[in-house]
Amino acid sequence: AFEQQQWKSSVSTQAKMPPCDFVPEKYESYPYERMGKIREQNVSPSLRMYYKKPLLLHQGHMQWLFDYDGRRYLDLFAGIATVNVGHCHPKVTMAAQKQLARLWHTTNVYMHPSIQEYAEKLTSLLPDPLKVIYLTNSGSEANDLAMLMARLYTRNFDIISLRGSYHGGSAYTLGLTAVGLYKHGVANGLGCSTTMLPDVFRGPWGGSHCRDSPVQTVRKCSCSEGVCHANNQYIEQLKDTLNTTVPKTIAGFIAEPIQGVNGAVQYPRNFLKEAYQLVRERGGICIADEVQTGFGRTGRYLWGFQTHDVVPDIVTFAKGIGNGFPMAAVVTSKEIASPLAQNLHFNTFGGSPLACVIGAAVLDAIEEDGLLKNCEDVGTYMLLELAKLRDKFEIVGDVRGRGLMIGVEMVTDKYSCHPLPAEEMAQIWEDCKDMGVLIGKGGLYGQTFRIKPPLCITKKDVDFAVEVFHTALQRHVERATKK
């Protein structure tokens, strides 16, 4: 009780948490210490936990999470960019409960109403010719299947991804994933090559006019009006990869509209459009990995690829598609889907009645709650508020993103842009958690805070979160001064 009072006191003296009229149920499971012992003894050590004292969460309501002791947290990570419409959204919860009482599972070898209804509903929101859907259970599985489809359709083998990308942890997709922390030193994903990431903050080219974001990097830009010289340089790197690393014909190219695990890295305007053209000239197809950017997270549009003025040949979805329910999808054209039907390819749980009903309820909630507009408005507001902290603190190197897919890259100083050391990142992170705000981390060096909240957050929530982050940064400065 004393610890709880101390925590509340700390929050109230630093930043006032917005009110919430939801009252969580009383926690009645095992004590915290026993939960920790079970985790240590019976859960794989590869499933790492956040924070020095890991959180034991008990209940969620929209943008809020509650721990076993009743403490409330503003969730700015949303289960890793997954809970788009809010924790336990009443419409989605009601739809799930109703379907649970009717039919859980039949496998997709039978027709049931929800799979056809959902297929029609989802594909109606995508441009032609993206009208054929294959339902799976996870983003890794969806990208795995997209790779297979690309190879079957083109009869080519090689697939290119961007460095810094994350496309899954399966043995197949690890070849596309280009973040060293996920590499295990065993054979994986043969026929996969990477090309230079067009990062206008940390890469060799780019600056203050290059990306499609309310906030630009502070690095000076060599671009002239109407011409992005940085984009031209990165496209030349892709051409070099095509000319040296892969055969004359390829199976495809995969990219996230905004990189997720790597810390909301954005490309120069027109990069994806020009990259798609080059890939198609080599016989390849273009895959948009919308696992993190999909279902409204980038604001204004449902899909991240729309911000690049492109239409992919295959789109993969997961995370926000089911608001946390294990569900994913591959959407493509009938032409590209057809070769897969020449032999059997089966998924037992993909497209279950329960998953499809939940997916449909998520789409309804996005529309009925006006989440695209809220994401655009609140996300822009948050980006601009965070940019003020970038201008105030030397260690905040870059603020970037669209909608509510935001990255804050931390550096030792803006001149060198060396990543902020891990122990300093961790302390800022811990301070934010102790004051009631949960954020993620990412980047090749773990140097970027990842902010991807439920799309229902408000500007008052943003004010609270920015004030907490400001306090954590100020504490860091004070600690550094005392050394």
Instruction: Give the pLDDT of residue 227.
Output: 84
Backbone angles phi, psi at 315, to 5 degrees: -125, 135
User: Among 55, 169, 143, which Cα is nearest to 440's?
Assistant: 55
Rg (CA), the chain: 22
Neighbour-count burial for 36-66, b at 16+ CB within 10 Å, e otherwise? eeeeeeeeeeeeeebeeeeebbbbbbbbbbb
**Distance from the first to the final alpha carbon of the chain:** 34
Non-local CB neighbours of 33 within 8 Å, separated by 6+ positions: none
Work out whether the CA dihedral 51, 53, 58, 61 comes out positive or negative.
negative
Cα(434)–Cα(71) distance, rounded to whole angstroms?
10
CA distance 116 to 135: 11
CB 99 within 8 A of CB 44: no
CB 39 within 8 A of CB 48: no
AA identity, residue 408: V
- Domains in the chain: boundaries: 2-75+371-482, 92-368
What's the pLDDT score for residue 14? 66
Q: How far is CA 25 from CA 36, 71, 75, 206, in A?
A: 21, 12, 18, 51
Interstrand relation of 405-410 and 437-438 (parallel, antiparallel or unpaired): unpaired
Compute φ and ψ for 145, nearest 5 degrees: -70, -40
Which residue has tokens 């509650």?
66
- Token pair, residue 224, equals 């002239």
CA pseudo-torsion sign 163, 46, 315, 141: positive
**d(Cα 129, Cα 39) in Å, to the nearest integer?**
47
**199 neighbors 183 (Cβ within 8 angstroms):** no
Both tokens of 43, joined, read 């859960």
Alpha helices in 245-370 (DSSP H): 271-281, 334-337, 353-368
Residues with Cβ within 8 Å of residue 395, at least 6 apart in sequence: 410, 411, 412, 413, 420, 424, 473, 476
For position 6, what pLDDT does the model report?
A: 39
For residue 37, the number of C-alpha atoms closer than 13 Å in the C-beta half-sphere is: 5
What is the block-wise mean pLDDT of the chain (483 residues), using blocks of 10 residues? 37 75 96 95 91 96 97 97 98 98 91 95 98 97 98 98 97 94 89 97 92 92 84 97 98 98 96 98 98 97 97 98 97 98 92 96 98 98 98 97 98 94 96 97 96 98 98 94 81
In 95-242, which ranges are E strands? 132-136, 159-162, 192-195
pLDDT of residue 225: 74
Rounded CA separation 296/402 (Å): 10
What is the C-alpha separation between 140 and 159, in angstroms, rounded?
A: 16
Q: 444: helix, coil or strand?
A: coil
Q: What letter does residue 155 receive in the DSSP assignment?
A: S
pTM here is: 0.94
**Architecture of the domain spanning 2-75+371-482:** Alpha-Beta Complex (3.90)
Q: 204, 208, 178: which is closest to 192 by C-alpha? A: 178
Nearest CA among 206, 143, 130 for reference residue 173: 143
Burial 269-292 (b: 16+ CB within 10 A, else e): bbbbebbbebbeebebbbbbbbbb
- Classify domain 92-368 by CATH architecture: 3-Layer(aba) Sandwich (3.40)
Question: Are 297 and 109 a contacting pair, CB within 8 Å?
Answer: no
- Say if residues 402 and 258 touch (Cβ distance below 8 Å): yes
Task: Transcribe 215-234 into DSSP letters.
Answer: S--SS---PBTTB-HHHHHH
Amino acid at 83: V
Q: Which residue has the tokens 């989605």?
A: 92
CB 217 within 8 Å of CB 208: yes
Q: Return the HEC string of 413-425.
A: CCCCCCECCHHHH
